[in-house]
Amino acid sequence: MQWNTVVLSDCIEGMSQIESGTVDLVFADPPFNIGYAYDVYDDKRSDESYLRWSKDWMTEVYRILKPGGTFWLAIGDEYAAELKVCGTREIGFICRSWVVWYYTFGVHCTKKFTRSHIHLFHFVKNPKDFTFNDELIRVPSARQLRYNDKRANPNGRLPDDTWILNPKDLEQEFGGDKDTWLFSRVCGTFKEREGWHGCQMPESLLERIILVSSCEGEKVLDPFAGSGTTLAAAKKLNRQYLGFEISEEYREQCLRRIEKADTDSLFLRSNQ
């Protein structure tokens, strides 16, 4: 299988062509089965069909990962619990963290509270042997920021399991010592916005995951290439990358985005 590209293929078929135990990191942001209007994929499956399909592709992820490999899954409320149970009890993953990504510009709802979060499951195959480059993603602690405590670790601390990144107007409420990750959604006015895919992930979020869960030169795979964020971020951080995409139009757009991706890491720049 050729790497550093996007393959026009169903993800299960595509992953079946990859040798077992050869991939370092998989990040997946699959369709949430909420009726989103993709150009090719039908996002209105029955519960049974969606869960069976999810188990099939996650089983392939488990097979292709190295023994010390890592799998990050982004999923909405509707199927988060089922996919966590499937991943751990049926497939064999170990869940190291259940992270909540809180974002600004939440999805407005009329008869429920506005949705402003996504679940990020951090799965590994071996809980005693997996990549976790904590020194690359540490944040200042409360001891450093607020109390000027000389006992504070000068290297900071790890983020907690609810992630908040950036928005300047929320910095005091959600400092580096808090238990929330804050990344804004990629809105229409943002420079980062590609404009051709409605479910674009922020590069800074993917950069944090790639930094902590892989090393330079290693293989990063995205079964649902979509807007190409994972692959662009992987290229910036000097990883090998591979994506699968069933939409020919999305694939072509992904390839163009990856080609113009430079080496300027949004996450590293914002944390310097």
pLDDT at 36: 84
pLDDT at 112: 78
The span from the CA of 38 to the CA of 198, in Å, is 9
pLDDT at 166: 52
* Residue that has been written with the tokens 């971020």 in this structure: 233
pLDDT band for position 189 (50/70/90)? very low
| pLDDT tens string 58-75 | 999 999 999 999 999 999
Tell me the pTM: 0.84
> 181-182 and 115-124: which strand pairing?
unpaired
Residues in the chain: 272
22: which 2 tokens? 């050869």
The average confidence (pLDDT) of the chain is 85
pLDDT at 165: 60
pLDDT at 33: 95
| pLDDT tens string 205-244 | 999 999 999 999 999 999 999 989 999 999 999 999 999 9
The span from the CA of 214 to the CA of 85, in Å, is 25
Q: Judging by beta carbons within 10 Å of its beta carbon (0-12, 13-18, 19+), is residue 19 exposed, middle or buried?
A: exposed
Q: What domain count does the chain have?
A: 1
- The one-letter amino acid code at 213 reads S
CATH no. for residue 170? 3.40.50.150
Q: Are 102 and 182 in contact (CB under 8 A)?
A: yes
pLDDT band for position 128 (50/70/90)? very high
pLDDT at 222: 98
| Residue 133: domain span | 5-270
End-to-end CA distance of the chain: 37
